[in-house]
């Protein structure tokens, strides 16, 4: 991403994003306007990214593989989800890797986040760049997932299933979830 000179430029970029992405990160502009440290804004954005990643897995297993929604939600919520685990589960569910150009946006922001979380104090300019990389990741990731499965994890997921098709029974759903790579209690 190009140089982001100030917080106003971040807000301008945020305003240019699709409405789904803006609504997913609805509290972020206020964090900037209230002059919270960018570490707070970055933490909030990553929290919302984690939610979207879990929603991606949930919607993928329910929509594409007809898993029982209740069991799928429980499995996704209880799953320990490292960065590598998410990528692996995504690839298994969608039969595609997240393209490198998309993943790189997230990885660049993660480097800055990790520095901030571990007390290494990245500069304000570096954090603004990370914020914009993360917001851009949400935009392009939404488009990618929509191309695969016709839903956008950074946004309103109401009606993502697209019908009232009956899901798998509980025992078959458990087998499916285990086969995909979820750990079940």
Give the pair of three-digit tokens for residue 161. Answer: 């299933």
Q: What is the pLDDT of residues 3-41, one digit of tens each?
A: 899 999 999 999 999 999 999 999 999 999 999 999 999
Q: Domain for residue 185, yes or no?
A: no
Q: Domain for residue 1, yes or no?
A: no
Q: Domain for residue 2, yes or no?
A: no
Q: For the chain, what is the domain count?
A: 1
What pTM does this model have? 0.94
Phi, psi of 151 (to 5 degrees): -145, 160
At residue 183, the pLDDT reads 92
Q: Domain for residue 14, yes or no?
A: yes
Q: Which long-range contacts (CB under 8 A, 24 or more apart) does 107-113 make?
A: 108/133, 109/42, 109/46, 109/133, 109/134, 109/137, 110/83, 112/42, 113/42, 113/43, 113/46
The stretches in the chain having pLDDT less than 50 are 1
Q: Domain for residue 75, yes or no?
A: yes
The answer to whether residues 21 and 142 touch, using CB atoms and an 8 Å cutoff, is yes
At residue 65, the pLDDT reads 94
Q: Name the burial class of residue 89, with classes exposed (0-12), middle (13-18) and buried (19+) by CB atoms within 10 angstroms of its CB.
A: buried
Q: Domain for residue 116, yes or no?
A: yes
At residue 158, the pLDDT reads 81
Domain span at residue 130 reads 7-180
Q: Domain for residue 165, yes or no?
A: yes
Q: Domain for residue 123, yes or no?
A: yes
At residue 179, the pLDDT reads 95
């Amino acid at each position: 991403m190009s140089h982001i000179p100030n917080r106003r430029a971040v807000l301008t970029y945020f305003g240019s994003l699709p409405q789904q992405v803006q609504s997913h990160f609805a509290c972020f502009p206020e964090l900037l306007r209230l002059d919270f440290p960018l570490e707070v804004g970055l933490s909030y954005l990553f929290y919302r990214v984690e939610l979207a990643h879990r929603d991606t897995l949930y919607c993928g297993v329910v929509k594409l593989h007809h898993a029982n929604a209740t069991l799928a939600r429980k499995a996704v919520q209880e799953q320990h989800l490292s960065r590598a685990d998410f990528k692996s589960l995504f690839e298994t569910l969608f039969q595609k890797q997240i393209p490198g150009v998309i993943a790189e946006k997230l990885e660049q922001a993660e480097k800055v986040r990790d520095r901030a979380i571990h007390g290494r104090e990245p500069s304000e300019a570096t954090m603004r760049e990370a914020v914009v990389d993360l917001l851009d990741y949400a935009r392009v990731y939404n488009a990618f997932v929509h191309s695969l499965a016709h839903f956008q994890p950074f946004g309103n997921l109401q009606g993502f299933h697209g019908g009232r098709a009956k899901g798998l029974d509980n025992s078959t759903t458990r087998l499916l979830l285990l086969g995909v790579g979820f750990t079940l209690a």
